A and B are shown apart, each in its own frame.
Chain A
Amino acid sequence: MSFFTRRFGLAVAAAFSFGAYLALRPSPEQPVAPVDVPRSEAARPAAAGAPLTTLTIAAISSPHQGQQVFSGATQIILEQGWLEAELARRGVALKIEPVSPAVGGPQINEGFAAKRIDFAAYGDFPALIAKAGGVDIRTVLSPGQGNNAYLVVRKGLAAQSIRDLKGKSIAIHRGRPWELTFAKLLDANGLTLNDFKIYNLNPQAGHAALAAGKVDATFTLSEALVTEQQGAGRIIWSTKDAPLHWKMRTGLWARHDFTDAHPDITTLVVAAYVKAAHWQAQEENRDRVLQMASRGNLPVDLIARDYDDPRVGWKDRFSPLLDGFYRQHFSDVAEYIHANGLVQKRVQVEDIIDDRFLAAALRDLSAGGLPLDGYWTPQAEQKVAAR
């Protein structure tokens, strides 16, 4: 027994050495974004004068053929390589930190708070929640003209509008950006959350619940198109039927202490996003843009359907401008999250929009030969009766 035990001890030791080898072996090259080990030290010195070595942008990522691809303009920036080259000339490395579509908001907030990331393109709600929680971030560019939200009812339900759903059950993921759109829809129809049985489910669970007939309706973003295509439900309303400023908006958010310390680099980053927006806005690139977008969650035809809104031309979909519309939207969000007790501090819209870098970037790029003068114009509201 003792001999055996000893031999066995050796075997365990050998097994663990192998485990150690597996654990310590350097990870194979990550395809797009090398994930270097985040340092546990919380605060990277961001004070003016401290040399900047790495610039970190967080972006929603999805797996695609064994690689990480990033959503929207970030992927284009990576593929264009312009920003990386410009930064390299200044001795700065570019790092893209992938975050999950499901918990992107909180993850980006945590990254901003720990000063682990410098920029991130993400939704209105989580950004303002972080802002109210004392994380000083500002939006420096609008990565597009908003995402659509959809109301889907289950198969076999005759409802035609939100009013017909009174007393029925609706699944919505609370605390996510489209909650505001939902609130606006209810408000416009003289309804409140108490008129329904609300289930707090994430979009995937909401889809399953609707498909199984366990809820009468769900309110989500473009995933709704998949639900409809699979025959599990029917879309009865979307933000295409509502005023433009009801759409969920995103921003390219930046840490304020970073932009203060490195205004030139900030302008460079904003310029890269403007370049990407300009590329996307070209009619001849439409197919490629749709194809890239479909590497996320939706097939190309559904992306095209989601993008299709007669009020917003192809070019304007990608307008980076921080116009009056944008301000109005964020003012509404700030009001909503404060009035509903989601945050304790009222965020002032002047404190969250910083358009200096966009102006500088547009000027620089125009001077560099890109025809951006008056290319995009501030959006104007078009009359649509709220349904």
Chain B
Amino acid sequence: MKTGALQTNGDPLAAAGALIRGLLEAGVVDEVLVPAQTPSGAVSLALFADPARMDGVNPWAPVMPVQGARAVKDLAFTDPGRRVAAVLRPCEARAVVELIKLQQVQPENLTFVTVDCPGTCETAAFHASGRDPAETAAALVRGMKDGAPAPEGGLELRTACTVCEHPAAAWGDLRIHAFGADADAALGLEAEDGLAEALAGAGLAAFDAPAPGGRDAVVERVVADRTRARDALIASFRDEAGGLEGLRKAFATCIRCYNCMENCPICYCKLCIFKSPTFDHPGDLYARWAGRKGAQPMPAETTLFHLTRLNHMSTSCVGCGLCDTACPMGLPVATLFRSVAQGVQTMLDYAPGRDLDDPIPLTVFREDELQEESGARD
């Protein structure tokens, strides 16, 4: 990896946009997947082939309506056949790492660009505020010099972002660093050697000068603050949602729309078992359940759905919180998953998205492990 700097001349968004557009113009890649403001004014991920369409590119768009890893999976479930750069936030990149390991993304033609992330607002709240995505993003990026800024205009970050302890770009072929940087002067860059040469050769960035300093200390402070916030959130959730009664209360208004699962980057099954005929029961079965218990909630098996999804995907949960954003009832889905995933991932000593070489926990085993945790006696 080589470190370098991206001169911003007072406009960090334009400078990052020019760098990303430059990947196309210089022929480093054929297409770019990146968040952008569309002509209609919405913020959306888009796959650009024509640099002339890239005016609204905004890698720090203050909303994340769709998890970028889902878009990468749509694009590269089979090899796209062209070289594509995907611009991702750290949680999106970590989900992509999981999807590559789960064989849902063919990475051969992909170049990953990651950015230090200030967090995002809930999509609906942000759009209702009428604020300009570019202005809000620029203010956030400038604020990252000293830590994790709050969005302007009384907007709040999504809960998942306020407890995100992975805000720094730590993976990817090209990483754009904003923490600790004076964004009006220069942003930090880190790139694979070959890519750094290509970028320097095309005059897009300089890799001969040292990166702006001070980032490590700022990242460390943000991570420490977020980790404290995460532990506090998990502790209070456990107090409230402990036991079956607490869990039922916390999820009492679930309408079983499956939006949490549909928007989860890790839930990759083409057909979830809960949407399959496995749980389409004959009518007399519901009638018998009601007869036996005296009453039967309809639809049935709501708690079973959440518990099963926890079992199936919490090993790889990256804590992006898109399940929260997707829930029409405002249930604390992400908090439940963060809380449970932390325990499971600690037990298995697994950090999703950390390394392509860490095997997915459910695909491997050691002969002498988990005796106590599984209760198996030999």
Asked if A and B are interacting partners, one says: no
Binding site for A on B (CB under 8 A): none
Binding site for B on A (CB under 8 A): none
